[in-house]
Amino acid sequence: MRGRFDEQLALLNKKMIEMGAMCENIIALSAKALLEGDVDGAKRVASIDDDIDHMEREIEAICLKLLLQQQPVARDLRQISAALKMITDMERIGDQAEDIAEIITFLQGRTGEECHDIREMAEATIRMVTDSIDAYVKQDLSLARSVAEHDDIVDNCFDSVKSNLITMITENTEDGEYAIDLLMIAKYFERIGDHAVNIAEWVEFSVTGVHKGE
């Protein structure tokens, strides 16, 4: 019985890694399209988001099967419960990366390179998502807690982006619409960072039995 349970738990971990990789990929593709003004690249994001949505449903089915058929307790139960919470944040990461890609199609070829710190925000959010998923698979409490440190980088970058965009509008009012689009993109990156923190907090719950919000 335990052997079958371990096989299903290993499958859950495999699917979580795959979904995490999809999230990393969709953020990276959106960021690349933004920094290069690549509208065609931005349009490819939607199909990855569809894959993420499908993977969410697949993982949810695995978790429910484990809960109903195996009736896990203690740490196993926490790990499965955490996975159910995490996939919600991962699905939203996909949605927000798609939102970024949609805005890129309206930038008329202009790139995010005109605004400092956008690149750093994108790189930091990708790392946060990667680390949070790795922390879950490895049950690494230290790695999970380090994700919040990168969130400070994202928040600081967002403040800098806002300041830069205000200056841009002040110096050239014709850039107003472009600046607002970039501000929305930066906000989506900030939200992705927040979702990565949520994932990391559920990892901590799976290890310790205590959620930060409690």
Instruction: Give the domains, in start order, of the chain with CATH numbers.
Output: 2-208 (1.20.58.220)
Residues 201, 67: Cα–Cα separation, whole Å: 21
Looking at the chain, the whole-number percentage of residues with pLDDT higher than 90 is 72
So what's the pLDDT on residue 86? 96
Any idea what DSSP says for residue 38? -
So what's the pLDDT on residue 191? 96
Q: Are 192 and 27 in contact (CB under 8 A)?
A: yes
Please state the rounded mean pLDDT for residues 190-207. 95
So what's the pLDDT on residue 204? 93
Q: Are 72 and 80 in contact (CB under 8 A)?
A: yes
Sheet strands (E) in 102-189: none
pLDDT for residue 80 is more than 80: yes
More confident of the two residues 117 and 45: 45
So what's the pLDDT on residue 213? 64
Please state the rounded mean pLDDT for residues 3-20. 91
Any idea what DSSP says for residue 1? -
Which residue is listed with tokens 């699917």?
A: 15
Residues 41, 30: Cα–Cα separation, whole Å: 8
Spatial CA neighbour of 180 closest among 193, 161, 194: 161
Q: How confident is the model at residue 96 (pLDDT cuts 50, 70, 90)?
A: very high
Spatial CA neighbour of 150 closest among 195, 102, 112: 195
So what's the pLDDT on residue 145? 93
So what's the pLDDT on residue 94? 97
The whole-chain average pLDDT of the chain stands at: 92
pTM listed for this prediction? 0.92
Poorest-confidence range of 103-117, 145-159, 169-183, 187-201?
103-117
Per-residue pLDDT tens digits for 19-77? 999 999 999 999 999 999 999 999 999 999 999 999 999 999 999 999 998 888 888 99
Please state the rounded mean pLDDT for residues 163-173. 89
